[in-house]
Amino acid sequence: MQIICSQVSCLMFVACVLVGMGSTRLSVQEISTDWPQFRGFGGQGVSDVKGLPVAWNGKENVIWKTELPGPGTSSPIIVGSRIFLTCYSGYNVPQQPRGDMDKLKLHVVCLNCDSGKIQWNQEVAPKLPEQATIREEHGYATSTPVADGERLYVFFGKSGVYAFDFTGKRLWQADVGAGLNGWGSAASPILHGDLVIVNASVESEELVALDKMTGKEIWRAKGIKESWNTPLIVTNQDGKEELVVAVFGKILGICPATGEQLWSCETDIGWYMVPSLVAHDGIVYCIGGRSGGSLAVRTGGKGDVTKTHRLWTGKKGSNVSSPVFHDGHIYWMHDNLGIAYCAEAKSGKICYEERVEGGVGQVYASPVLADGKLYYVSRVGRTFILAASPKYERLAVNDLSDGSTFNASPAISKNRLYLRSNRFLYCVGRH
């Protein structure tokens, strides 16, 4: 989920996005304002938008607040005036009796950006039996949709991948596996050219590429074990595109056109991998593992590249939320400790390791960066804004605590920040 770098020019950025998204129907204005997949264009959590608010609460700078048809941890995406996200209802809803699994419904929802009004709510019947219980109430709507300017693609784990048009009409459905896991399913689909690519580690321990027009399977790549992260498309230093994904113990480089494995690199991280990768100038940066860990790998290799392309390793990491690359540094926050990190990208040297004041609690959402500021959203609804600088500076703490849980990563569009809890979607901006 394609490289966004603060140093590249606007025209180069637009060209890279058009190639990575496989769409020629998006204007330059849409490129700079849409947020069409997990962590935005390129999947790296970076926006060129300026003028986002620094201060808000339940009343100040909240343009609208919409109650959703059900819970979910998928992040919102934005295309033009439309917001898309997924929910579920009828079974295993937090703070309600578990109920009957036969009542479980999956929802694909479209809202209007300006008003927050729900424009349509398409129900999808799940393939049962589903996971009877899912740890920490992650639920059955965890994967963020992806859109290409004409169509919407969503992933519901063992229930499959679905394509819709922007009116809510279902176009096709495809299966990618039937496996289940106590943590549920989470990785989000991406687009590459004419392909929808899905990390189906839970469902089949495979990456699956589908034709985005028909849902027909194009290729499968095996060996995707204990991987909850969203794949990333990277241009290596030879100008060739590679798909990279973190799995148990390794980072894999795969040909996105064929599914052929190009290279692998040991991570020295001995657990499942949840945080998504980020990249810059053909170098991939990875954090992850319950025990913590980080590393940098140069793409473009062949076979086992641990000794030749692994540039550095570190002991600090995060088990859930993904990092951000900005101006030669990597930023992230530990999911349980409330500690923010900044590391030098070329060496892995820790520039700061600071416990953030203000009652962070757990952080499962991946941060976003805009206008020189990092936005970290905690599970209780507090957003911590830090300067995107190797010198630690906390700029603000904003509280939307409403009794619900904020697991979804923020979306940014047109000077507004969209924050999703398991009950509400908030639009934050200057009135």
The per-residue pLDDT for 19 is: 36
Residue 354 lies in a domain: no
pLDDT range class, residue 137, cuts 50, 70, 90: confident
Q: Quick one: 107 exposed, middle or buried, by C-beta within 10 A (0-12, 13-18, 19+)?
A: buried
Q: What is the mean pLDDT of the chain?
A: 92
Q: Quick one: 121 exposed, middle or buried, by C-beta within 10 A (0-12, 13-18, 19+)?
A: middle
The H-or-E segment that residue 17 falls in is: helix 10-21
The residue type found at 70 is: G
Beta strand residue intervals within 38-141, DSSP E: 46-47, 62-67, 77-79, 82-89, 105-112, 118-124
**Nearest alpha carbon to residue 184 among 104, 122, 121:** 104
The residue type found at 302 is: K
Question: 3-state class of 344 per DSSP?
Answer: strand
The H-or-E segment that residue 314 falls in is: strand 310-314
Joined together, the tokens standing for residue 346 give: 């070329």
The residue type found at 9 is: S
For the cut 60, the answer to whether the pLDDT of residue 352 exceeds it is yes
For the cut 60, the answer to whether the pLDDT of residue 25 exceeds it is no
Report the distance separating Cα 323 and Cα 12, nearest Å. Answer: 23
Positive or negative torsion for Cα 194, 200, 204, 206: positive
Order of strands, sheet of 190-192, starting from the edge strand that comes earlier in the sequence: 190-192, 195-200, 206-211, 217-222
Residue 83 lies in a domain: yes
For the cut 60, the answer to whether the pLDDT of residue 24 exceeds it is no
Phi, psi dihedral angles at 136 (to 5 degrees): 55, 25
Joined together, the tokens standing for residue 288 give: 């992850």
What's the pLDDT tens digit per position in 381-422? 999 999 999 999 999 999 999 899 999 999 999 899 999 999
Positive or negative torsion for Cα 79, 81, 87, 89: negative
What is the residue whose two structure tokens read 């030879």? 238
Residue 356 lies in a domain: no
Residue 113 lies in a domain: yes
Positive or negative torsion for Cα 240, 245, 250, 256: negative
Beta bridge pairs of residue 303: 263
Structural domain containing residue 252: 10-46+70-328
The per-residue pLDDT for 27 is: 41
Residue 183 lies in a domain: yes
What is the residue whose two structure tokens read 């520039």? 351
Report the distance separating Cα 398 and Cα 93, nearest Å. Answer: 27
Joined together, the tokens standing for residue 297 give: 């790998």
Report the distance separating Cα 299 and Cα 331, nearest Å. Answer: 21
Beta bridge pairs of residue 186: none
Joined together, the tokens standing for residue 250 give: 């390794």
pLDDT range class, residue 32, cuts 50, 70, 90: low
Residue 290 lies in a domain: yes
Beta bridge pairs of residue 66: 425
Separation of CA 23 from chain center: 20
Looking at per-residue pLDDT, the higher value among 373 and 59 belongs to 373
The per-residue pLDDT for 173 is: 98
Residue 151 lies in a domain: yes
What's the pLDDT tens digit per position in 103-136? 999 999 999 999 999 999 999 999 999 999 998 8
The per-residue pLDDT for 322 is: 97
Number of domains in the chain: 1
pLDDT range class, residue 291, cuts 50, 70, 90: confident
What is the residue whose two structure tokens read 């495809």? 174
Residue 293 lies in a domain: yes
pLDDT range class, residue 28, cuts 50, 70, 90: very low
pLDDT range class, residue 290, cuts 50, 70, 90: confident
For the cut 90, the answer to whether the pLDDT of residue 238 exceeds it is yes
Tell me the CATH number at 96: 2.140.10.10
Phi, psi dihedral angles at 307 (to 5 degrees): -85, -20
Neighbours of 213 (CB within 10 A): 12
pLDDT range class, residue 31, cuts 50, 70, 90: very low
What is the residue whose two structure tokens read 């703070």? 95
Question: 3-state class of 385 per DSSP?
Answer: strand
Beta carbons of 263 and 252 less than 8 angstroms apart: yes
